Amino acid sequence: MIFKPAKITALIIATLFTIPPIMAETTFEHTNHLANTFSPYLQQHAHNPVDWYPWGEEALEKARRENKPILISIGYSTCYWCHVLEREVFTQDDAAKIMNENFINIKIDREVRPDIDEIYMTATQLITGRGGWPNNLVLTHDLKPFAAVTYLPKKRWIDMMLQISDRWKNKNPQLNAQANKVTDALKHALSGKQPLLASLPADSLAQQIYAAKTRAYDNRNGGFGTGMKFPQETGMLFLLNHARNTETPQALEMVKNTVDNMLHGGIHDHIGGGFHRYATDAQWRIPHFEKMLYSQALMTLVLAQLYEETNAPHYKHALTRLLDYIARDMTDKDGAFYSAQDAETNAIEGAYYVWNETELQEVLAENEYSALMSTYKTQDPPHFSGHKHPNGDVLYRSKNLPDNAAPETLDRIFGKLLSVRQKREAPLRDEKILSAWNGMMIYALAESSRVLDNPTYLEHAEKAAQFILNNMKQEDGRLYRIYMNGEPHQNAFLEDYAWLARGLMALYRETKNDTYKADAIQLIETADLYLLDKTSGAYFMSDDSDALLIRLKIGHDAGSLPPGNPVMAHVFVDLYTATGEQIWKDKLTDMVSAFGQNIIDNPTMYSHMIHAMMRIESPKATVTPPRATANDTRPAIQSKDKVNVQAQIIQSQSTDTHKSVTITIKIDDGWHLNANPASLDFLIPTVINIQSEQSSTVQVDYPKTHTIKTPLATIQVYKDTIEINATIDSEQTIETSKIRALIQVQACQEGICYPPSQITVEVSD
């Protein structure tokens, strides 16, 4: 949940993109305080000229002693734009000199410290209206944030550092006041409300989520929203459950169309199997190339359930190839699973994955090349100014070409291409073993074994579970989060206990081995000792061993992964189903109550929790939920609140198969929307899409822009009232009553950008 931030300097802008640096040489000109850390991400920065510290009291005390602001820079080892920022800024002596003289600089691996990441990513979203990695914030000595930025080129980065340093020295009271306002909003956003001591209408809440998914659904390309596409796997799992429980075939069709488009697009690794993290376009063609274990685990569950519901062979084929990829490229010799693969090789994103025409013709026989190109096309990745471009294109399956090539023919072709690709220099692999992500993969493998009736996958899941239980448990029963270089590290977080318990319960269901159930219960008992908030029944994200700005207790869907509380809710359902013991139903009831008012206020943010509520057998609640209290002053910050949108067909320019549409957007005084195309890579453009029930093509003509100056650059924007003209064409008669417009906007003014909104409006005649 996002709340209105205090007015912050316009200097602060963020980006969604992510990416790894080149490994250090054996001799180093610089060595900083990260040299002895175990984190691959911190090790990547251990020889920067920036005097980096790991998070800890040494760095925080130094900031207080020297009266310097604290710069924290959060990322992860396979984050592409983290690597770009390192190359362009953190390895540069002039930038490092300014940072070292004016700041205490701390590097944080978000996968090692997800609690710190969650706090300060929320802060960045409050300050800038969006978030992404690398996530860089400047804090006061009491850890309160007052400035945030993600990627910036070196000159802008240096200008920002100098401006903040000057304000720290000369306008410190104003900075502290600003930090207090941000922190108040942050605590409001993350602390939740009083528990709601009433049953909740799960069916009604689920219907609200389904309705919201339907409004955001892109029926042409699959997925949700406009512009770049994220798989939103947990949303698809919710829809699959909703389709099954309520006999809503359209929910299943939404997932089928989304996954079919993903399987055709470049986000799907046609040659090696598995999925890249997200697509940079609406058609799923151009991926951001990094591969994350959690993405593979969640897509495994989606594909397994789709195959179970439809018996369609192409879902089984994609599922088995995904699991082949995990076994081949992401599995440790002892059976546990690695965390991620990088997007770039030698500073070139996608270099490992792209192909040019000459390469394809050299590798494949003439008939094989013809068979491949009868079904597939290639697409050039976007060019980024100042960044190396890969020598090749992304392979994707074209919907406009006939499906002539037989699956076995394509498998043989892809096998040849894979053998050649494996001889290329591979991207960096992050070999951290994370308890949470391994638990997720264990769960996915156990489900796949059941659906495919293949014991091999169950064996893989059991081997991984035994590794975690044998190597990552402490003598007092607590779990470690990470295993790296033969050693366990870092006390586990709630998500580690929850996902591993969910994986163990899946193994119990498939093997009927009571040991797995007992191990899952022991994990919950340990979490109860160190993480449970006994006054509410929900769990804190971390223990109280480290003094942070906020001790988090999160129940809403956060980013790509559901947080620990809703995952633990599903574990309670698993245990109640397995044992019939009332304690597990009671624990679920307590947890739902802890977030009850938030769930009532904004059910779409709690889909994974509501999914658990739908699974458990309980009477439907009839209690009317209370309204928000008068002193609930939480502001809603959404870009859609700053615009009024109408869409109308221009009858004089339309026919049965061709419709002209005008979208009128009235923008509130003092606010603006980003132009299309956006002036800077990391700004969110205004995007229009027109949809009908018929197969169609759309052409959009964006209007003239206004020019404004910001501290970062001169940019093009839309102001006041704008009209955007679009046409939609189909070979069939277009049913006018079923046309709708999907609009993406981000409203900004000096010092603040609201989070982007996806708006759906019916097109009137």
Give yes or no: residues 530 and 581 share one domain: yes
Which range marks the domain in which residue 604 is found?
A: 468-615
Give yes or no: residues 185 and 45 share one domain: yes
CATH number for the domain spanning 566: value is: 1.50.10.20
Give yes or no: residues 590 and 683 share one domain: no
Q: Is residue 278 part of a domain?
A: no
Alpha carbons 410 and 258: distance in angstroms, whole number? 22
pLDDT at position 587, please?
A: 94
**Could you tell me the two tokens for 601?**
């206020």
Give yes or no: residues 44 and 184 share one domain: yes
Q: Which residues contact 362 (CB under 8 A, 6 or more apart)?
A: none
Q: Which residues contact 67 (CB under 8 A, 6 or more apart)?
A: none
Q: Is residue 247 part of a domain?
A: no
Q: Is residue 25 part of a domain?
A: no
Q: Is residue 552 part of a domain?
A: yes
Cα dihedral 462, 464, 469, 473, rounded to 10, equals: -170
pLDDT at position 628, please?
A: 35
Instruction: Kindly list the averaged pLDDT for each block of 10 residues, start to end, along the chain of length 765.
Output: 32 34 61 91 93 94 94 91 90 93 94 91 82 90 90 89 91 87 83 62 85 88 87 93 87 94 95 94 90 96 96 95 97 96 88 93 93 89 72 83 71 94 94 97 97 96 97 93 94 96 97 96 96 91 86 82 93 94 92 87 88 69 32 51 88 87 90 82 76 79 86 78 89 82 80 72 82
Give yes or no: residues 78 and 151 share one domain: yes
Alpha carbons 685 and 672: distance in angstroms, whole number? 11
Alpha carbons 58 and 71: distance in angstroms, whole number? 14
pLDDT at position 620, please?
A: 33
Per DSSP bridges, beta strands 52-54 and 104-109 are: parallel
DSSP letters, 168-225, are: HHH-HHHHHHHHHHHHHHHHHHHH------S---HHHHHHHHHHHHHHHB-TTT-SBS
Please tell me whether the peptide bond between 677 and the residue prior to it is cis, using omega within 30 degrees of 0: yes
Instruction: Give residue for tokens 């956006």.
Output: 678
Q: Is residue 324 part of a domain?
A: no
pLDDT at position 323, please?
A: 98
Give yes or no: residues 107 and 157 share one domain: yes
Rg (CA), the chain: 26
Among the candidates 191, 209, 236, a domain finishes at 191
Among the candidates 191, 218, 253, a domain finishes at 191
Alpha-carbon 80 to chain mean position: 14
pLDDT at position 198, please?
A: 57
Give yes or no: residues 170 and 47 share one domain: yes
Give yes or no: residues 503 and 609 share one domain: yes
Q: Is residue 282 part of a domain?
A: no
Q: Is residue 220 part of a domain?
A: no
Alpha carbons 287 and 551: distance in angstroms, whole number? 35
Identify the CA nearest to 481 among candidates 436, 445, 428.
Answer: 436
Alpha carbons 301 and 558: distance in angstroms, whole number? 19
Residue type, 474: Q
Opening angle at CA 316, ends 311 and 319, nearest 5: 140
For residues 703 and 723, the answer to whether their CB atoms sit within 8 Å is yes
* Total domain count, the chain: 3
Among the candidates 599, 615, 631, a domain finishes at 615
Query: What's the burial of 629, exposed, middle or buried (CB within 10 Å: 0-12/13-18/19+)?
Result: exposed
CATH number for the domain spanning 104: value is: 3.40.30.10
Alpha carbons 613 and 592: distance in angstroms, whole number? 8
CATH number for the domain spanning 689: value is: 2.60.40.1250
User: What separation in angstroms does the CA of 169 have from each of 139, 166, 480, 629?
Assistant: 14, 5, 42, 42
Give yes or no: residues 573 and 526 share one domain: yes
Q: Is residue 253 part of a domain?
A: no
- How does DSSP classify residue 694? S
Alpha carbons 748 and 639: distance in angstroms, whole number? 8
For residues 291 and 278, the answer to whether their CB atoms sit within 8 Å is no
Q: Which residues contact 742 (CB under 8 A, 6 or more apart)?
A: 216, 218, 225, 226, 688, 689, 690, 691, 758, 759, 760
For CA atoms 114, 119, 122, 124, the dihedral sign is negative
pLDDT at position 625, please?
A: 33
Query: Taking the model in full, what pTM does it have?
Result: 0.79
Give yes or no: residues 44 and 186 share one domain: yes
Alpha carbons 296 and 255: distance in angstroms, whole number? 17
pLDDT at position 197, please?
A: 55
Give yes or no: residues 486 and 583 share one domain: yes
pLDDT at position 622, please?
A: 29
At 147 the three-state DSSP class reads: strand
Give yes or no: residues 607 and 673 share one domain: no
